[in-house]
Amino acid sequence: MNAIAQPVIRRLPETLVNRIAAGEVVERPASAVKELVENALDAGATRIDVTIRDGGRALISIVDDGRGMTPDELKIAVERHATSKLPDEDLFHITTLGFRGEALPSIGSVSRMAITSRPQGAEEAWRIEIEGGRVFEPKPAPGGPGTTVEVRDLFYSTPARLKFLRSARAESGAVADVLNRLAMAHPNVGFSLTDDGREKLRLSAAQGELLDLRLKRLGGIMGREFQENALAIDAEREGFRLTGYAGVPTLNRGNAMMQFLFVNGRPVRDKQLIGAVRGAYQDFLARDRHPLLALFLECEARAVDVNVHPAKSEVRFREPGIVRGLIVSALKHALAEAGHRASTTVSSAALGAFRPSQLPDTRQGSFSGGYAYRPPPPPAPGLAERSYEWQRPDGFAPAARPSYDPGPASGDHVDPETGEVTRAERPLTEYPLGAARAQLHATYVVAQTEDGIVIVDQHAAHERLVYETMKREMEKGGVPRQGLLIPEIVELDERDAERLVERAADLEKLGLVVEAFGPGAVAVRETPALLGEVDARALIRDLADELAALGNTFSLQEKLEEVCGTIACHGSVRAGRRLNTDEMNALLRQMEATPHSGQCNHGRPTYVELKLADIEKLFGRR
């Protein structure tokens, strides 16, 4: 029997090493595009044109007007771990998008690649070719200032990799996604994408104020709806600065594909940052809905480690708590500043529904730079701003009267000595949400303003009011409770009952007192006073389901919106309940005095405003 030969440790050939590296760096055509475009940005390009064929399999061409390379630099550039981006060899002080020096040799090892480059001010260009890792000598070639990289037959030398690629359409979409993310971070650079001879993207370079440039660029990529409903973000804390734009809560979607995060100009996908965004919007959106936003975090290079993953899409912060706190506080501040503001698409869609030939399109902006449908012009701004002016940040309106002081108006008498204001009788139509005129289907309140009408969803609106009241009372020490004359006994699954009893102390702070009543049952002894009469059985069962979904590892403060929101939903004015005129007007006045009442706890709008001018257009009066 022959003995098994002892394996000998040896160095792998350079070509094989590059192919192994390509497996990490060049996962698909989009990965190659990302690396090459980042190189162009690092080279100071102001214009980058990308051309692909067959989803990037047959051809990837990147043309830029950057600083270019000499023949000697071309030869070094295609060697592994050769780069100009680490002058001090300090991996903790990285100020460029690329820095490893792996992209060009890795791509060249699995394709037929050619690089033509001409430095600024040079008289001629030079071209170097790499085929399956074999490098040829540079030769003179025609070419303008800048660099052109052509990658043909990607993965021809590793055919097994081709089996893992998706369809040409899916790969093209991934390329467009990569290019759009980089374009968002660099609004002063022009980008174009041509796919199989068709221009899919064209974004012009612009000059001006960075925040304004970004909003225009984001509108071109994420759609006009986002541009019209974006809130500006600009905050700073302990060396970190956060800028960008976030959509109002009523502009949301079912996935997080329209959330873009950047660190020092680098697109990243970071669970910690996504979690911070979710935490900021927790009071405004259901758990299965996601806001639209693009946030740009700038910090000192040593405060963040980008050398975590070969794709450079993950980062680690030296002070993660500061970053999370900055994102949450900046977003919450912007949402508070927005007041009642809801998405303009709500009113636009309502008007569009009346036009048989112009039905509203509910799609969000796409990565193709917009979409074919253009919704009708949004209502003139004013209601959100007027409502916010009437809010008082430290109070909540009682049911009978508003808690704000709009200041003296025309007709009011002001005592010149004491400054006391004697109010003149004013029509309710002068209030931001107007005067209640009718209730439709025992669900919707119709109000008349000076220049239009407002339609309010009474359940959604009152749900937000109850929720905000509970939050304020929680901050003061607890929600007032009312005792039940006869405790309500609710039978549940035994584990559900145990979860409720385990959280009894937390629920007591919310005004709900429960205790164990044998196996698989709880006794409800007190309920939140502000709920009035409430179906305790239904409330307890919904809370049991909520606690089961949340698990046992949460704190009350972290998950306040889920538990509190469930309680608020049971205590709000239900659809189907008839209201008299005074009750409807009291609801409108409370909405004007309550922050964030433009949307319910699940992100749905609580009202729709239709301007009189828009209504007149529907009937051809304008």
Q: Tell me the pLDDT band of 396, cut-offs 50, 70 and 90.
A: very low
Q: Tell me the pLDDT band of 251, cut-offs 50, 70 and 90.
A: confident
Predicted pLDDT at 411: 54
- How many Å apart are CA 530 and CA 509, to the nearest integer? 14
Predicted pLDDT at 470: 78
* Secondary-structure percent of the chain, ordered helix, strand, coil, rounded to 5: 35, 25, 40
Predicted pLDDT at 384: 47
Cα distances from 370 to residues 197, 202, 350, 461, in angstroms, run 20, 11, 21, 32
- Residue 52 corresponds to which tokens in the numbers above? 């692909």
Which domains are assigned to the chain? 14-203 (3.30.565.10), 210-347 (3.30.230.10), 379-622 (3.30.1370.100)
The whole-number average pLDDT for the span 373-398 is 41
* String of DSSP letters for 389-431: HH--TT----SSS--------TT-EE-TTT--EEPPP--GGGS
Q: Of the segments 232-241, 279-288, 346-355, which one has the largest average pLDDT value? A: 232-241
Q: Is 374 a residue whose pLDDT tops 80?
A: no
* String of DSSP letters for 82-115: --SS-TT--TT---SS--SS-HHHHHHHTSEEEE
Least confidently predicted of 5-19, 319-333, 501-515: 5-19
* String of DSSP letters for 169-188: HHHHHHHHHHHHHHHHH-TT
pTM to 2 decimal places: 0.64
State the greatest distance between any 2 C-alpha atoms of the chain, in Å, as a whole number. Answer: 116
The share of the chain scoring above pLDDT 70, in percent, equals 73
- How many Å apart are CA 94 and CA 264, to the nearest integer? 10
Are the C-beta atoms of residues 274 and 328 closer than 8 Å to each other? no
* String of DSSP letters for 139-163: EEE---SEEEEEEESTTTT-HHHHT
Q: Tell me the pLDDT band of 132, cut-offs 50, 70 and 90.
A: confident
Q: Tell me the pLDDT band of 620, cut-offs 50, 70 and 90.
A: confident
Predicted pLDDT at 172: 95
Q: Is 360 a residue whose pLDDT tops 50?
A: no
Q: Is 409 a residue whose pLDDT tops 60?
A: no
Cα distances from 146 to residues 57, 124, 206, 323, in angstroms, run 24, 11, 20, 37
- Could you tell me which residues come within 8 angstroms of residue 372 by beta carbon, excluding any fewer than 6 positions away? none
Q: How many residues does the chain have?
A: 622
Predicted pLDDT at 362: 39
The whole-number average pLDDT for the span 97-107 is 74
What does the pLDDT look like over 427-469, one tens digit per residue?
Answer: 888 888 889 999 998 889 999 999 889 999 888 888 888 878 8
What does the pLDDT look like over 18-63, one tens digit per residue?
Answer: 666 555 568 899 999 998 999 999 899 999 999 999 999 999 999 9
Q: Is 598 a residue whose pLDDT tops 50?
A: yes
